[in-house]
A and B are shown apart, each in its own frame.
With several copies, the nearest count.
Chain A
Amino acid sequence: MRPKNIVLGVIGFDCHSVGNKILETFFTEAGFKVHNLGVMVSQEEFINAAIETNSKAIMVSSLYGHGEIDCAGLRERCIEKGLDDILLYVGGNLVVGKTPFAQVEEKFLKMGYDRVFGPDCSLEHVAELLHQDLLSREEKED
């Protein structure tokens, strides 16, 4: 099985680079081919990278609190650009202020993200979900 392409990056004007470096290492070791755009990535850059690398998932980080503003509209823009079925994962400190996770999750699910993660998520668990989700997309495509 060839490693699956995924795009990784920190959205908006967010400079938090430590988690990003760890995610890159982790997903690479978990068997993905990671296209890491680093920090301060715009929605366009995410989409272009996904198209160029033929990635089936975009992993968006937002740590600095502007997640709600920065992440809105990514799903719609993906569809515009023909990425109909792309998986959108989002994680980090997604909103301003300590907020019950269920509330945050609901907000981002509504925005069209497939899965939402807090800063405490287990990366092993994320990798498993990602493998599964990608698999079931492939099956659908077949």
Chain B
Amino acid sequence: MSFNKLDMDTFNQIREELLGTWPTGQGLELEEAIAYQKTIPESKNFAVAMQRASKEGKTLLQPRAGVALIPDHIELLKYLETEGEADLLPTTIDAYTRLNRYQEAANGIARSLEAKTSLLNGFPAVNHGVPGCRQVTEAVSKPIQVRHGTPDARLLAEITLAGGFTSFEGGGISYNIPYAKKVPLKKSIDDWRYVDRLTGIYEENGVHINREPFGPLTGTLVPPFISHAVALIEGILALREGVKSITLGYGQAGNLFQDIAAMISLRELAHEYFLREGFEDYELTTVFHQWMGGFPEDEAKAFSVISWGASVAVLSNADKVIVKSPHEAMGIPTKEANAQGLRCTRQMVSMLRDQKFLVSEDHREEIEQIKREVKCIMDAVYSLGNGDIEAGTIAAFEAGALDIPFAPSMYNHGKILPMRDNDGFIRVFNKGNLALSDDVMAYHRDKLEERAKAEGRKVSFQMVTDDIYAISKGGLVGRPR
């Protein structure tokens, strides 16, 4: 089958309309933006930093952070650079901007100015416009990325890339299904095609920009094969539009061996599928997210969860780890709490970076198991789309052949129920319409029966609920009380 990049005419037509949707978009020149990007020193380029980390076997640390006002946001980032020892910086975007509610964001900025504290849960980059973004990116010395959760991120991408950010998170599936309710998947995939094409244009003009599909999805009991399938699809779609630096992500599941198997299989699968799609010229790196589900409120316990994520990130050779803070269960962290999460992670990363993980035969078997599962899903996607991966993805979500647990989107089937087995591996309890083969499902069912037997209760929905609360209540497998 064949595919083409989004053609320049269509791109320009969309672009013209897009830039008119909010005042800060008006008059944005791509040439000027590219020229500006070229003035940014290599030491601040995200793609370069990721590739170097991968070559040197390092795990880079990145927090999440964003507040409403520019001076506060700069202060926050600088604190995370110095006191937090962060290697990479974020700019987390507020939830109004994520849903293109720029008027509400403006209101949030105004109320934050009044209240002298941020009432927004992130940095409203579109409202602050290109000059505001440049103020931020120029004030820091580390590579900096836009992190968000935006189904239609086209304007955000235009403004932030012109604003000097060198990496952009998200994808048409991962920033829709877990983040939105009513956005059609076809629309978000199309809109992200624009973002990827924009990135491709930068690349073609000699500006290296990193792209990172959002690995963890809903952050809640997501079996590795599901997030892997999404990562592979979004990776392929990005490479098609000319993206060169791609970072695939995965959110910690909790069991050491499942997580390491997931990280190993993610890398191996990506190369396999990318090659199969005809791509050879790309830089693949990985990111591991510390526990993305509910956290314990007690800070000493939260440190433990952060540390465990940090250990597994290093042991699995992630090129980057996304760091949580001891405030996670309660609210957006203060800069101090955020820096504590970073320093805790830093200590772990440096204690463990020299340690090679010795993979056993049984462990290798779990790696193969994940690959088998991913193959089931990807085969279904390709076949439902008659070889067209976009159409196949949309059809797969519609049919529930690809299904993300606990997601809010009405375009998600929402029938799959994951559950932990007796060792804490996330397995599938109810597959819904997931395109898993019978032998794969038999394996999952055996594993879950093992747990049911150990707990002296039937495999049931109660276990799912217990598993969701487990880590925040101190545990991994939600045992009966």
A residues neighboring B (CB under 8 Å): 12-15, 17-18, 21-22, 25, 38-40, 64-66, 68-69, 93, 95-99, 119-120
Contacts and interface: CB of A to CB of B under 8 A. Distances in A.
B76 interface: no
A134 to B, nearest CB: 25
A96 B120 contact: yes
A15 B119 contact: no
Nearest to A65: B121
23 contacts: A12-B95, A13-B96, A13-B99, A15-B179, A17-B218, A22-B465, A38-B181, A40-B180, A64-B121, A65-B331, A66-B108, A66-B119, A69-B108, A69-B111, A69-B119, A96-B118, A96-B121, A96-B331, A96-B332, A97-B333, A98-B327, A99-B331, A119-B329
B321 to A, nearest CB: 23
B176 to A, nearest CB: 10
B408 interface: yes
A15 B99 CA distance: 10
Interface in B70-94: 94
B218 A98 contact: no
Contacts of B407: 17
Contacts of A12: 95
Interface of A, secondary structure class, is loop
Contacts of A120: 297, 329
Given A22-B468, A96-B331, A96-B332, A15 B408 contact: yes
B406 A98 contact: no
Interface in B280-320: 293-294, 297
A18 B222 CA distance: 12
A96 B327 contact: no
Contacts of B330: 93, 97-99, 119
A65 B334 CA distance: 13
A120 B297 CA distance: 8
A15 B180 contact: yes
B249 interface: no
A102 to B, nearest CB: 14
- Taking residues whose C-beta sits less than 8 angstroms from the other chain, chain B's interface range is 35 or more
A18 B120 CA distance: 22
Interface string B112-123: 000001111100
Contact of B119 (A18, A39, A68): A68
Contacts of B465: 22, 25
Interface string B182-210: 10000000000000000000000000000
**In this complex, which of A39, A66, A68 has the most chain B Cβ atoms within 10 angstroms of its Cβ?**
A66
Q: What 3 A-B pairs come out closest when comparing CB atoms? A: A65-B121, A17-B408, A98-B330
Given A13-B95, A95-B331, A39 B408 contact: yes
Nearest to B327: A98
Contacts of A39: 181, 408
A13 B101 contact: yes
Given A12-B95, A66-B95, A97-B327, 11 more contacts: A15-B178, A17-B408, A18-B293, A22-B468, A39-B181, A40-B180, A40-B408, A65-B332, A66-B94, A68-B119, A96-B331
A65 B406 contact: no
Contacts of B120: 65-66, 96
Contacts of B224: none
A65 B297 contact: no
B447 interface: no
Contacts of A68: 119
Nearest to B294: A18
B337 interface: yes
A48 B111 CA distance: 28
Interface string B97-117: 011010010011001000001
A98 B337 contact: yes
A96 B218 CA distance: 21
Contacts of B111: 69
Nearest to B330: A98
A13 to B, nearest CB: 5
Contacts of A40: 180-182, 408
Contacts of B119: 66, 68-69, 96
Contacts of B408: 15, 17, 38-40
B216 interface: no
A22 B120 CA distance: 26
B181 A15 contact: yes
B107 A21 contact: no
A98 B334 CA distance: 8
Contacts of B406: 17-18, 21
Nearest to B462: A25
A33 to B, nearest CB: 19
Contacts of A64: 95, 121
A62 B108 CA distance: 16
B105 to A, nearest CB: 10
A14 B104 CA distance: 13
Contact of B95 (A14, A17, A99): A14
B45 interface: no
Contacts of A66: 94-96, 108, 119-121
A15 B179 CA distance: 5
A93 B99 CA distance: 20
